[in-house]
Amino acid sequence: MPGIDESLLETMRLPGTRGASVVDWISGLALGTVGEAPGGDMEATAAETAELARFAAESSALAPAGGAGTGTDKEQPVQDVIITNTDSYHLLRFVSTDFDSTVFLHLWLDRDEGNLALARIRLADIADRLVLG
C-alpha cells in the first residue's frame, strides 16, 4: 500500500496533471506536495483548498439524504469536490481512514490535456490505497 510520496507520484502520471498534494483539512497543512501550485505557492494553495474541503465536509446542506455522518463513521459524507474554471480542474478527494479522516488529495489538472472522468476514477483508487502514518 503506497504512502503519501508514492501516491502523489502516481497522480503525476495522470494525463494533464499540473500538481497534487495531500492536505489536512483541519490544519490546512500540506502533508506532501508534487508538481506546480496554482499561484506558485503550495502551502497557500493547501490552506485555501482546506477551507473549501472543511466547508464541504461539515456542511449539512451537502450531506447525503439520510443526514450527515455521526463523526465516528469511516466513510466521509462527501466523497469529492470538483471545481472547474476556464483552463483547469481541481479535484479534492477525501481520504477515509480508520482514525479521524481529515485528509484529502488535491489534484490540479489542465483542462485541455486532462480527462476529468478518468482523473476522478483514478484519484478515488489512489485515495483508497493511501496509507497515512
Residue span of the structural domain in which 97 resides: 4-129
Q: Are 97 and 103 in contact (CB under 8 A)?
A: yes
In which order are the strands placed within the sheet that holds 80-84?
Answer: 30-35, 17-24, 103-110, 88-95, 80-84
Question: What average pLDDT does the segment 89-99 reach?
Answer: 88
Residue-wise DSSP of 27-82: T--EEEEEE--GGG-HHHHHHHHHHHHHHHHH-STTS-TT----S--SS-S--EEE
pTM of the model: 0.88
Q: What CATH number does residue 95 fall under?
A: 3.30.450.30
Q: What angle do CA 64, 1, 8 make, to 5 degrees?
A: 75
User: For the chain, how many structural domains are there in total?
Assistant: 1
Q: What is the DSSP letter of 99?
A: S
pLDDT digits (tens, 9 = 90+) for 26-85: 999 999 999 999 989 999 999 999 999 999 988 888 777 765 554 444 566 789 999 999
Q: What is the DSSP letter of 103?
A: E
